[in-house]
Structure 1
Amino acid sequence: MKKLTSLLSIMFIQGLFYQTALAQDEKTALVPLPSVDDFTKGEDGWAFGLGLGIEYESAYEGSDEFGFEAQPAGAVQWRSGDDIFYFAGEALGWRGLRADTWLFDAAVAFDEGREEGDSDDGYLDGLGDQEEDTELVLQTRYALDADWRYWLVGRVVTGGSGNLGLFGVGYRFGDQLDGTGSEINLVGVFHDSEYANKGFGINAEQSAASGLPETNLSGGFRSIGIDYTYRYYLNDNWQIFGEALYEHFSSDVQDSPIARSNYEAEVSVGFIYLF
């Protein structure tokens, strides 16, 4: 009986260590948020993810035309403790975790702009092609609890075409700590007059060429948006992801002739292979 008790005790202790090890192994992501991709699996050094996504989205901001588009997915990342440096698509940046509750992110990103040909129905004819632009994107999230169940988010985008700000709240579903599962964010978006007119303004020259009335927007409230992100590991190397986004424009934006719809929407799915 004593031998049986001792054996059970050993098994119980081993089980505790095993469960603890599993919990430690599971906690691999810098923060457990599906929208913050982390391919390092908790290890310092290089990490690579390469994949493909299929998007069904508005042809341009305010468009009522939709279409499919294939986009590369993944990133090259280098991790050192609570800091990750990354190159993802058209963005080069850094993100870092501080005091377990603050996530900071800074990136230089490339904006392709808008072309007349983005509208198959010719709604952008005469407006000309917008110049490509480089933007600085600064973002912070603050966790309202220890396991990042709820958080506040703020983002600023600034560049040669004006400034945009985003502020909101988020919620994470599930108990995974490896960056999988799903999350949802509700945000309010604001822009200055330069950024507003980049997407929805029509100057005198454009008005004469397109036949659309001259339109000049002021800065302020732009939209309210909601987005949902999902991420799941099929095995050690394969990951699938999905995202759905809806942005409802303010009345000022809707009054622009360029805004043929009062919203913008996007749905995307894809896969990533982790090397």
Structure 2
Amino acid sequence: MTYAEPPFEVPSYEVQQAETFRNWTLVIGAGARYRPEYEGSDDLEVSPIPFFLFTYDDWLKIDPTGLEITAFRYEGFSVSALVGYESGRNEDDHDRLRGLGDIDFAATLGGRAAYEFGPLEAYATIEQTIGGSESLLGKTGLSLTAPVSQRLILGAKAEATIADDNHMQAYFGVDAIQAAASGLPEYQAEAGLKRVDISTSATYLFNENWLVRGEVGVGFLTGDAADSPIVEDDLQPSASLFLGYKF
């Protein structure tokens, strides 16, 4: 995808039942998201989203963003390996991108460290793109999961994203060739804090199988990302709704 935004992050205990003794869970479903057409756009679009979540014990998770393997866990602290992807960006996605060329789809490899204390989790991730933008992206954040009842779970998250020169130039920079083709001024985007995101969510369990989840959030592009001539609006809202079935 054009920018890192997990489709639906459903904490594992939201879909697990206390009476279930098997060590795996599977949730499949579909939903829709309302968000900018590209990172920095002021035009919003609705797009359908297929969804799946598979977990095995407390060490394996597979979802639309990729694969997470937890290699170490001790008293709330955990370290995981990440395998994912960066879907890139097509210049045909929006008129503002014409002449900037495409950013190719690429795989990502990285790691995640987290610490849970009660309903709160503090985490940090780092991922390297193999191909595509050939970039390094880091995130740090704090998430809260609060069960209101046996059926309703509320959540909140705040996250900051830091990117290296390659990522910033690929998505927000304009070189001489791109400037001539697009009509935009040349612009050099350098490494730094790229964006800050905050979001809230609600998950409702109809029964032991069916669940619905909604999320609203807003991102704030910062620094060289916000100042890029590619960016039409540094305020990036989003909303999503998802219906799932747990096996």
The offset of 1:112, in angstroms, is 1.4
Matches of 2:112 and 2:170, distance apart in 1: 22
- Alpha-carbon distance change, 176 to 164 in structure 1, aligned in 2, over 3 angstroms: farther
TM-score by length of 1: 0.76
Counterpart among 125, 143, 166 of residue 194 in structure 1: 166
Contact 2:54 2:61 in 1 (8 A): yes
How is 1:234-249 mapped onto 2 (pairs within 5 angstroms)? 234-249=206-221
- Alpha-carbon distance change, 264 to 136 in structure 1, aligned in 2, over 3 angstroms: farther
Contact 2:174 2:187 in 1 (8 A): yes
* Higher deviation after alignment, 93-102 or 108-117: 93-102
> 1:114 matched to which residue of 2?
89
Whether 1:271 aligns to 2:246 is: no
The offset of 1:176, in angstroms, is 5.9
Counterpart amino acid of residue 94 in structure 1 = I
Whether 1:131 aligns to 2:109 is: no
CA RMSD of aligned residues (A): 2.3
Counterpart among 142, 149, 156 of residue 119 in structure 2: 149
Whether 1:228 aligns to 2:200 is: yes
Contact 1:202 1:214 in 2 (8 A): yes
> 1:164 matched to which residue of 2?
137
Contact 2:26 2:52 in 1 (8 A): yes
The count of aligned residue pairs is 233
Unaligned runs of 5+ in 1: 1-33
Superposition misfits of 4+ residues, deviation over 3 angstroms: 37-46, 174-178
* Higher deviation after alignment, 63-72 or 247-256: 247-256
CA shift digits 1:126-165 (9 cap, x unpaired): 1112111111242232123xxx223322121221321111
> 2:63 matched to which residue of 1?
88
Counterpart amino acid of residue 268 in structure 1 = S
> 1:20 matched to which residue of 2?
none
Matches of 2:146 and 2:56, distance apart in 1: 27
Identity %: 24
TM-score by length of 2: 0.84
Counterpart amino acid of residue 127 in structure 2 = V
* Higher deviation after alignment, 151-160 or 107-116: 151-160
- Alpha-carbon distance change, 241 to 103 in structure 1, aligned in 2, over 3 angstroms: farther
SS in 2 for 1:123: helix
Contact 2:148 2:154 in 1 (8 A): no
> 2:50 matched to which residue of 1?
72
Matches of 2:159 and 2:222, distance apart in 1: 13
Unaligned runs of 5+ in 2: 1-8
- Alpha-carbon distance change, 231 to 138 in structure 1, aligned in 2, over 3 angstroms: farther
> Of Structure 1 and Structure 2, which has the larger fraction of its residues in helix?
1
> 2:4 matched to which residue of 1?
none
The offset of 1:97, in angstroms, is 7.2
The offset of 1:199, in angstroms, is 1.3
CA shift digits 1:218-251 (9 cap, x unpaired): 1112222212232221101101112222111114
Contact 1:44 1:78 in 2 (8 A): no
- Alpha-carbon distance change, 170 to 86 in structure 1, aligned in 2, over 3 angstroms: closer
CA shift digits 1:179-202 (9 cap, x unpaired): x61221222221111111121111
SS in 1 for 2:179: helix
Counterpart amino acid of residue 36 in structure 2 = S
SS in 1 for 2:53: strand
The offset of 1:95, in angstroms, is 3.6
Contact 2:72 2:80 in 1 (8 A): no
